[in-house]
Chains A and B, each alone.
Chain A
Amino acid sequence: MTRSQARVLVGLLSSSVVVLPGVARAAPCSDLPNPTIGLGGSAAKPLLGLFATELAKQAEPVSLVFQSTTSCFGITAYIDDMAMTGTANYWDAEGTEQTCDLPLEGITPDYGLLSIEPTLCEGVTSVPDGLGERIGPITPWSVIVPAGSSQTSISAEALYFIYGFGASEGRVSPWIVDAELYSRNATASSQIALALATNIPLGKFKGNDTTTANGMVTTVAASQNPEAAIGFVGTEVADLSRDLVRTLAFQAYGQSCGYWPDSTSTAFDKKNVRDGHYYLWTPYRFYAPVDAGGEIIHDATRTAVGYITGSEPIPPEFPALDLITRNGSIPVCAMTVWRDSDIGPLYSLAPDEPCGCYYEFIATGEPTCEACETDTDCPAEAPVCRYNYCETS
């Protein structure tokens, strides 16, 4: 699907509430308290939902409004001066997802959200002047099969044949049925990330477009030929449906064994992402108009994006780290590897203020480090008390 075709589809989908007969219009998004209205990849929706709920509870609430499309629209909306129209979602203080209407004449987004570098999107050579970037938590990517499949592992080489040549031409058993080969399109960060990791030219990526992250999960899960079905989606989304789909262990080029994002197929610790054994991950990236000093101009956007990315001071009572962790995303402070380009070479990197101990406690419910109140409670090998656990630095 080309960018222009995808734009038409998104427009049709997001306008459905307006054009379908007998469907009442929702409340205007702009009437919500302190709204910040943006768009981007559908894999980010669970994360935004958690933050939106918490932001709605604040004494001075912010309404985080999101139109779920694909990642590249988070930047091309600015480049193409494409107004947002149709409907979008927000979350009330109880965490219930709601729908609101965008103005019929459209609006310029307050923020764009990508899970991939903007220049990996078709036709994007640079970020437009006047937009600032904020790097957010890490999202891993999962290659998934139906829960009924017996398959447990896959390699970059195998994916190269499956998605590069097509299922039937690629001849990688059991994934040899073209109708069971599920993909997204060239504007989706999941597909761009997988193409990079497997060296498949983006224009030659095969498969049947499932349109959204949730669509991927439901389509793969509903396959009548589970052994042959395969797809890919953000791990946070896959983890919400482990009873329906399973993440395959992924073996990158040059790797001797396949690894799950977590230390086992059933864990939730994202250990292998954090230490470099799991290759498929990218950070969330927010883009928003900034002033000459680089500060996000729109107050509600600065607050919402700032809390998600840590680029603004976060009030002590706001549980940003917990929200990121509970979503299955990974805060940068819990990583011990990094890369300078999406799906680029990994290298070891200790974060300035590590939070791996607290992350593991929230993610798994089990403390893996010594608990503390102050630094004096900590041993010499982990002397810093941070978030009530002894960290190495």
Chain B
Amino acid sequence: MNRNRKILLGVLLPCFAACPGEAEQPPQDEAVASNDDSSPDEGGSESDDECVGPDGCWVCEAVEVEQVLNQCTEATCEPFANTSERLPLMQADGSLPLIP
């Protein structure tokens, strides 16, 4: 996992705890608008601060798969909380045990 992915996931993971249980729309219009002013280059090499929107969505050109999956959007989304309460078999570090 490269540095961009680590930072992106670090920003995104708190959302699991913070996101409400109801369907929501990650705000994006403002973020996209501000990104338009930043004139991203084709390599998607903007600094991470510039590319992560208010709710952790990706406002720059998506290059990595996590960036594609987490692009800012007007679509409705519904988070699933990958917590130990919901997933009791998940290991303490968040990894998944091998299937027996």
Contact = CB atoms under 8 A, between A and B. Distances in A.
B93 to A, nearest CB: 13
Contacts of B74: 263
Contacts of A271: 75
Nearest to A348: B62
A349 B25 CA distance: 25
A363 to B, nearest CB: 14
Given A271-B75, A346-B69, A173 B99 contact: no
B87 A255 contact: no
Contacts of A172: 86-87
A264 B75 contact: yes
Interface string B61-82: 1110110111101111111101
B82 A277 contact: no
A387 interface: no
B86 A257 contact: no
Interface string A255-299: 111111001110000011001110100000000000000000000
Interface residues of A, number: 42
Given A260-B76, A276-B68, A204 B99 contact: yes
B69 A277 contact: yes
A255 B70 contact: yes
A361 interface: no
Nearest to A199: B96
A199 B99 CA distance: 10
Identify the interface centre among A165, A173, A255, A264: most chain B CB within 10 Å of its CB: A255
Contacts of A153: 78-80
Interface of A: 152-155, 157-158, 160-161, 164-165, 170-173, 199-201, 204, 249, 251-252, 254-260, 263-265, 271-272, 275-277, 279, 337, 345-348
Given A276-B69, A279-B69, 17 more contacts: A158-B80, A161-B89, A204-B99, A249-B80, A256-B13, A256-B16, A256-B56, A257-B15, A258-B77, A271-B75, A275-B73, A277-B69, A337-B68, A346-B68, A347-B63, A347-B68, A348-B61
